Amino acid sequence: MDLKKVMYALIAVAVLLAGALAYIWYEKSSLVKELNLEKDELTSQMIALQNDYAALSSDYDTINSQLDSSREEVSQLIERIQKTEATNRSKIRQYEKELGTLRSIMRNYIVQIDSLNTLNKKLTADAAAARREAAESRRQSEELSKTVEGLSEQVAVGAVIKARGLRLEAYNSSDKVTDRSSRVVRMLATLSLVENDLAPKGPIRVYIRVKDPDGVLLTNSTKRTFECEGEPMICSASREVDYQGKEVELSIYLNEISEYAKGIYTVEAYTEQSKLGSAELMLR
């Protein structure tokens, strides 16, 4: 009886030990399975982060260089996770912390890139506005220059001295007006310089050019040359007057012409600025 009791007791102990071992094996298998699941989840998160880093880009060389460095860290971390046993809890926890750090770094990159893009857009908008303002300033300056140029031209045109009432008459030796060519001893051109406040004040010389019926310019010993609008000319006679912007009447004599033929004589009056006018005289 005692031997049977001992044997039964040993069998009971063996059954209990087998049950305990089976329970321990089951628990260990469940734990290893859970750890492998955690490792797989961590690996999946790292791969997702790697894809996020791959999709992130910027227009700035410094940030791109930092991104390349962080991408390399993510790749190396994935390799280390894949080589580490799931049961190495300390390593897995370390990799989880590194994953969190790399996520924080990525968020900082996103903030930096967004800030720089916003600043770049503002700078671009400011530059475009500055270009528009510069273009508008140039346009206004060009318009002002054209206006000033136009006004200057108007002033220049308005400053030209003009004349009225140009007339040519012939006189005989008795100093009386005549239309007989055989009796003419001199000619007289008369005209008035009109009032012009814009015209330059001071002495001004008026020139006359008298041509005979054949178109030959009449000249004497007092002839002189002048320029009108850059063109050199010879005058028949001239006279200087003091012009102060008010109307001035003047007469210019042409003497020392040996003879006068029958026909139509023309007279043209000039200043060095412009032609003042023309008139005709018929001698018979």
The CB density around residue 67, as the number of other CB atoms within 10 Å, is 20
pLDDT at position 151: 47
3-state secondary structure of 95: helix
pLDDT at position 86: 67
* 201/83: higher pLDDT: 201
Residue 250: closest CA among 197, 187, 172, 188: 188
Nearby residues of 96 by Cβ (< 8 Å), 6 or more positions away: 42
- pLDDT digits 0-9 by tens, 70-115: 888 888 888 888 888 767 777 878 878 888 888 888 788 788 888 8
Taking 70 as the threshold, does the pLDDT of residue 156 lie above it? no
Residue ranges, comma separated, of all CATH 2.60.40.10 domains in the chain are 163-283
Crossing angle of helices 2-55 and 89-158, rounded to 10°: 10
Residue 45: closest CA among 88, 121, 3, 102: 102
Burial (Cβ within 10 Å: 0-12, 13-18, ≥19) of residue 249: exposed
Taking 50 as the threshold, does the pLDDT of residue 65 lie above it? yes
Topology at the third CATH level for domain 163-283: Immunoglobulin-like (2.60.40)
Share of the chain above pLDDT 70, in %: 88
CB 187 within 8 A of CB 222: no
CA–CA separation, 71 vs 64, rounded Å? 10
Worst-scoring range by mean pLDDT, 23-32, 53-62, 272-281? 23-32
Q: Give Cα separations from 263 to 62, 166, 215, 280 (angstroms).
A: 97, 19, 11, 10
pLDDT at position 154: 45
pLDDT at position 187: 95
pLDDT at position 217: 95
Q: What tokens does 265 get?
A: 């004589």
CA–CA separation, 188 vs 237, rounded Å? 10
CA–CA separation, 20 vs 172, rounded Å? 163
Burial (Cβ within 10 Å: 0-12, 13-18, ≥19) of residue 108: exposed
pLDDT at position 28: 57
- pLDDT digits 0-9 by tens, 182-198: 999 999 999 999 998 88
Residue type, 146: K
Taking 90 as the threshold, does the pLDDT of residue 176 lie above it? yes
Residue 58: closest CA among 115, 131, 17, 98: 115
Taking 90 as the threshold, does the pLDDT of residue 249 lie above it? yes
pLDDT band at residue 24, thresholds of 50, 70 and 90?
low
CA–CA separation, 48 vs 97, rounded Å? 16
